[in-house]
Structure 1
Amino acid sequence: MHTSVSSRGGRGKGAGLALALGSALAFGGSGVAAKPLIEAGLDPLHVVWLRVAGAALVMLPLAVRHRALLRRRPALLAGFGLLAVAGVQACYFAAISRIPVGVALLVEYLAPALVLGWVRFVQRRPVTRAAALGVVLAVGGLACVVEVWSGLGFDALGLLLALGAACCQVGYFVLSDQGSDSGADAPDPLGVIAYGLLIGAAVLTVVARPWGMDWSVLADSAHMDGTAVPAVALLAWIVLVATVVAYVTGVLSVRRLSPQVAGVVACLEAVIATVLAWVLLGEHLSAPQIVGGVVVLVGAFIAQSSTPAKGSAEPVAAGGGPERELSARGTAT
């Protein structure tokens, strides 16, 4: 029986890791599809609005099916929509209007470290050294991937906005774990995502003001490294894969792993985005970026494979059950 339970736990952990990697791949492909649309004439905020609003329409039937969530978990739905959807997108795009994209991306992906900080200092729970080391390696590798040293002129407000995106991403990982140990009473993750997208779309409508968008761009073609691609096809990828699939697999991965581990694996999004840009857009990687990508992979592996130390007070690590207390203890938050 012990072997059977361990085997099921191992398969669940493996499935969670696969879902997290799939989510990182889906999220990482958003920039490659969005950049040709922006270069074709769409405002970045308009692309974000199309992404979220389109995904909200796709998930609308699920929202109707899980309408009871509006009564049972209104705070969770509002938090997910404001933080995990609208907050991350709006803060990030506002940040890159003032500071280099690489710097903004690095600051945003401090989220895994902030998650561990939340667990350690707010919830006052110990974390393993391996998990902390994995985060340090992942962040250090990201510094190489985005070549942070190339942007030296920092704007204080821009950095604050990027940090806001990181904090919103922490909300995404923590909120995604809500109710994972509640059994039949746990909120359905698909319903949470559906209402989160609806709320996010409503907020972004006010911010992006899509009524001023140049809709004719979507009827034409955009160019991806010299190759003409229908703009509608790129938009479909952004909506269906980079948003719907990305959020669904991301939330399901958190349910099987933990917020901090899924956050570390999500750091691979930057690596995946860079590789896809190299292959599809002709944006070649430099040697430091390749080294940084390897460091991120190593950091994610260390954090994912770490286990609680024997005799310890069940520190938070990549596998096992103690981290599931996040759901019960984080409900008030």
Structure 2
Amino acid sequence: MTRQHHLKGVLLASTACILWGISGVAASTLFKLNSQVTALWLTQVRMIIAGLGLLILGQASGVKPFKIWRNRRDSIQLISYGLLGLVPVQLCYFEAVKFGNAPIATIIQFLGPFIISIYFFLFKHVTPRRSEAIGMLMAFIGTLLIVTHGHLNSLAISPVVLFWGELSAIGVATNTLIPRSILTKYGAMTVTGWGLLVAGLCLNVFTPLWQVHVSLDWPTISLLLVIIILGTVFPFLMFANSLSYILPTTASLLDAFEPLAATVFSIAFLHVQLTGFDLFGGILIILAVMALSLNVRKMMGVLHRRTDS
């Protein structure tokens, strides 16, 4: 692997994460600009269109996306991935953005790797290392600073934001754990494309997409295109392609660009006011997750070996 290839992989993964961060800022702008847009409606539109787009691209590139439905067990796992992985990681995130703001929602969602670490400890009996324990403590302190601003007897953010943010963090964990075996078997484009489409269609059980009236003026359409194309399809393809040039551990560390991008663009364009507690707490969480990400990959390897044995 040449230095040029490594640099290409880093740039692809970094840009993908920045685009994900921008997607959160675009969603926050859309919620403020058009009161008819709900988190559920936005998630449905994003999932269905992006899912179809990925499947069409997959079919055009010879991936054969329909192959996964021939295996009953893999089909059930795919549906579980869509409903238990992608729905919380996207719907709950947008709810947190709507009731709060993109930086706080993204930082709380960034706690997902710690949910994975807790899962391994409780169900796979993988004891956290000292570095992981220190990282968890840092993340806890960072979250506490954001939530209380140093006043332990009161909350500085809405409990609703905290509720949806924590659910989205759990979604990050399920989004990582559930599709592991089918990803290696069918590829990321097929699994993510079907997962998005299935999840988006199933969300119509709550409120059918066609029964919601949203005025589609040009600003709304423009922001939707940013969220769907620049914030979903492009970054997915870029991040998946980056893994051809860099290790997954390196790519996972670059995830830190997502909350950083959400924070920078929210301050620059939406004039979101963040306190010193928010910034310091966010930095602690990002540093802690970057440290933990290396060990999470190792734990995934341990689980994979135990599953194969």
Range class of TM-score, shorter chain: 0.7 to 0.9
Gaps of 5+ in 1: 1-6, 222-230, 307-316
The equivalent residue for 1:117 is: 118
Q: Which amino acid aligns with 1:324?
A: G
Partners of 1:14 and 1:143 in 2: how far apart? 36
**Counterpart pick for 1:49 among 44, 50, 54:** 44
1:238 aligns with 2:227: yes
Gaps of 5+ in 2: none
Q: 1:26 to 1:84 in 2, by over 3 A?
A: farther
Give the Å deviation of 1:96. Answer: 7.2
What is the CA deviation profile of residues 69-110 of structure 1, one whole-angstrom value per residue up to 9, with x for unaligned ones? 11232123112211222233334455678x766887666444
Partners of 2:260 and 2:157 in 1: how far apart? 24
- 289-298 or 201-210, which moves further after superposition? 289-298
What does 1:1-333 correspond to in 2, within 5 Å? 21-41=14-34, 42-62=37-57, 64=59, 65-72=64-71, 73-93=74-94, 108-144=109-145, 146-149=146-149, 151=155, 162-178=165-181, 186-216=185-215, 218-221=216-219, 231-248=220-237, 256-257=247-248, 262=252, 266=255, 269-304=258-293, 317=295, 323-327=300-304, 329=306
Asked if 1 retains the 8 angstrom alpha-carbon contact of 2:111 and 2:289, the reply is no
What count of residue pairs does the alignment treat as equivalent?
Answer: 293
Partners of 2:45 and 2:26 in 1: how far apart? 13
Query: Secondary structure of the equivalent of 1:282?
Result: coil
Identity value in percent: 22
Give the Å deviation of 1:250. Answer: 5.6
Partners of 2:46 and 2:301 in 1: how far apart? 31
What is the root-mean-square deviation in Å for CA atoms of aligned residues?
4.0
- 83-92 or 276-285, which moves further after superposition? 83-92
- 195-204 or 32-41, which moves further after superposition? 32-41
Q: Which amino acid aligns with 1:46?
A: W
Asked if 2 retains the 8 angstrom alpha-carbon contact of 1:107 and 1:166, the reply is yes
- Higher RCO structure, 1 or 2 (CA under 8 Å, sep 6+): 2
TM-score w.r.t. structure 1 length? Answer: 0.69
